[in-house]
Structure 1
């Protein structure tokens, strides 16, 4: 099997793994493998292929990381994206771990107490969303 074929196979495997994991970093490494395959098809040696794969894949991953940092949401942008933030819910009772179940938008949600808050029943405001759990603060 030629070097170019090996690079194309590696690129396909990296794309498949990227589809399973959902990160774009493996896609950048796959682009490096594609660049190395094109280098192999151009007739360059294995050392040149490895350097091209490392430079293209590494540079792509670094640029993707920097782009993602710039895309980080500010608190106001998070508010705009999560319309549930600031909504009011009623808490009947808290359990010993500081969690409860509340009704919000017609569904039962798991909720936890925000840091520094006391566990008391009554009206609470949604301060944040941690995964699939609401973080509540007492009103």
Structure 2
């Protein structure tokens, strides 16, 4: 089997693994193996193919990491983008752990009290989201 064929098989394996895992880093390494396959098809030696794979794949992974760092939002920004903040819900009762089950948008949600709030039934406002829990404050 020629070097180019082995690089193309490796590309297929890397792309398949990327589809399973959902990370784009494997896709960048796949691009590196494409560069190595093209170098093999052009007649370059194995060392040149490895250098091409390392440069293209490594540079792609590095650039992807830098791009992801710039795209991440802080927790505060993510909460401001959430459409449920400020909506009101009705709390019937709080349990001993300080949580309650509330209906919001047709589904049952687990709610917790915001810091400094006391557990009392009645109308509450959604102050924040903590994972899949609503953080409530008394109205």
Q: TM-score range by the shorter chain?
A: 0.7 to 0.9
Count how many residue pairs are aligned between Structure 1 and Structure 2: 135
Q: Per-residue displacement from partner, 1:1-57 (whole Å, max 9, x unpaired)?
A: 111111111111111111111121111111111111111111111111111111111
Task: Say whether the 8 Å CA contact 2:79–2:128 is kept in structure 1.
Answer: no
Unaligned regions of 5+ residues in structure 2, if any? none
Q: Is 1:10 equivalent to 2:17 in the alignment? A: no
Cα distance in 2, alignment partners of residues 26 and 112 from structure 1: 39
Secondary structure of the structure 1 residue equivalent to 2:134 = strand
Residue 128 of structure 1: how far off its partner (Å): 1.9
Unaligned regions of 5+ residues in structure 1, if any? none
**TM-score, normalised via structure 1 length:** 0.81
Residue 126 of structure 1: how far off its partner (Å): 4.1
Cα distance in 1, alignment partners of residues 20 and 13 from structure 2: 11
Q: Which moved more, 1:26-35 or 1:42-51?
A: 42-51
**TM-score, normalised via structure 2 length:** 0.81
Alignment root-mean-square deviation, CA: 2.3
Go from structure 1 to structure 2 and tell me whether the alpha carbon gap of 1:84 and 1:47 turns closer, same or farther (over 3 Å shift): same
Which of structure 1's runs of 4+ aligned residues deviate more than 6 A? none
Secondary structure of the structure 2 residue equivalent to 1:35 = helix
